[in-house]
Amino acid sequence: MMTSVRPERGTLPLTPAEIVAELDRYIVGQEEAKRAVAIAIRNRWRWQQLPAEVRRDIVPKNILMIGPTGVGKTEIARRVAQLVDAPFVKVEATKFTEVGYVGRDVESIVRELVEVSISSLHGERLEAVREEASRAALQRLVDILVEQRERRRAKRQGSEAEAEPEEEAPEERRKRERRMARERRRLLDLLSRDGLEDETIELDLESEFDLFVTPYAENGGVDLDEFQETVADLLETLQARRRTRRVSVREARRILTQQEAQRLVDFDAVVEAAIKRAEESGIVFIDEIDKLITKDGEYGPDVSGEGVQRDLLPIVEGSVVMTRYGPVRTDHILFIAAGAFHNASPSDLIPELQGRFPIRVELQRLTEDDLYRILTVPENALTWQYRELLSVEGVELVFTEDGLREVARLAALVNSRAEDIGARRLATIMEKVIEEISFRAPELAGQTVCIDADYVRQRVGTIVADEDLSKFIL
């Protein structure tokens, strides 16, 4: 498998051509859409290099993807976000409603983006201090082991605990300190060689609750002073809820490493940097935006669609959204909207929202050749996935070219008869083709199974031939 060319932070970013080449590894066709997002990502990097006074007046050019389901709209946006390590959220426009109706508040999109950004950056910071945290955890583990062995030694000698150091005679104290130093060196050597991993120790576990008192009360009618006092009391209660648990040294090492890593990371600094990353690099993918279009005179469940468009408008135009971590500006977040637009056109969106998506790209329906390439070209192709899964049971799958051509032909045929769900149809057909092999895999261990055109027709040919049946099963 090819290795990714994803750049490290701080290095020169990928060019638009390199971004498209990277997307080609996972997504077949749709060159126009790939070029559009590649240019948008490169423009964002160009914008970040400009002086602050110039940057204020340059806003990202948002993208509207038009095309049927299953042709790669979401995958292009998700892959490019992974490629440039940008915070990314995907939301469905139909989950939101205007004020007065039951549904999600559109500002929750930005809050979710901030949460994703904080989680990602916090994970990176924890990983960066992992080695230092591991060393600190090892020292703590040695201290715990020495202390517990000293207690057991004192108990064997008939006392609950040794006398306090200040009550000991100087000679006794020096002897005890030398003994503990020798024990520390011995235990450190054993732990370094994983010699005590299965030994059981008692570990004081800290509270697993993680609460933050923020300077913003998101729910109206909440008294801030009363809110802070309530949370402070709750935190004191939780801090008192330390519990002792018997765990193996292996598990204790993992727990202590986590605790030390959390102590080494400044969470306030993480939040500050993550908010900046969300503001300047965040990507929001709004799917099914065409479902917000309400034709004149229409009523029913979609009556609030235009209201949602108007609620989305300030966020897409650029506004300040209050989150639990503070205010977040949306001026430079890149919004990518998508929809099939079967029964409507982009011009049916409210004019103000249309103007905020100046880049329009149309994704093409997948042909039989496209479906065949999807089975053979991407690094994470379905064929590769099934081969890897069944190799666990010792079954080797071999897909012949005529077999894959037949799968693509049948997928294209069903798409033409029923609702066109694009590449997703391949998954339903492949699952039917592999179903019997998956079921009998334990019996087929050590064998090679060939998936050719005859086998494919045997498994799904009759289902496809029955048009009514294929609509239900495939």
- Residue by residue, DSSP assigns 404-464 as HHHHHHHHHHHHHHS---TTHHHHHHHHHHHHHHHHTGGGGTT-EEEE-HHHHIIIIIHHH
368-473 is classed in which CATH architecture? Orthogonal Bundle (1.10)
- Longest Cα–Cα distance of the chain, Å, equals 96
16-122+273-362 is classed in which CATH architecture? 3-Layer(aba) Sandwich (3.40)
Q: Could you tell me the strand order of the sheet in which 334-339 lies?
A: 88-92, 283-287, 334-339, 63-66, 359-362
- SS3 for 89? strand
Residue 286: which of 356, 374, 364 has the closest Cα?
356
Helix and strand element counts for the chain (H, E): 19, 11
Which residue matches tokens 């946006």? 77
Tokens of 286: 């709004």
Q: 198 and 250 in contact (C-beta within 8 Å)?
A: yes
CA angle 332, 265, 224 (to 5 degrees): 70
Q: For the chain, 474 residues long, give each residue's pLDDT as a single digit of tens.
A: 334 444 444 455 789 999 999 998 888 888 899 999 999 999 988 988 888 888 888 888 899 999 888 888 889 999 999 988 899 999 988 887 655 454 568 888 999 999 999 999 999 998 888 888 888 888 887 777 777 776 777 676 655 444 444 565 676 667 666 766 776 777 776 767 666 666 777 777 664 444 443 444 343 444 444 555 566 655 555 554 556 777 777 787 888 888 888 888 899 999 999 999 999 899 999 998 988 887 654 544 455 677 888 888 889 988 899 989 999 999 999 999 998 888 888 888 888 888 899 999 988 888 889 889 988 888 888 899 999 999 999 999 999 999 899 888 888 888 888 777 888 888 888 988 898 889 988 888 888 889 998 888 888 877 766 665 566 666
Helix (H) or strand (E) holding 374: helix 368-376
Tokens of 137: 């955890």
Q: How far apart are CA 466 and CA 89, in angstroms?
A: 40
Q: Specify the pTM.
A: 0.76
Q: How far apart are CA 441 and CA 16, in angstroms?
A: 44
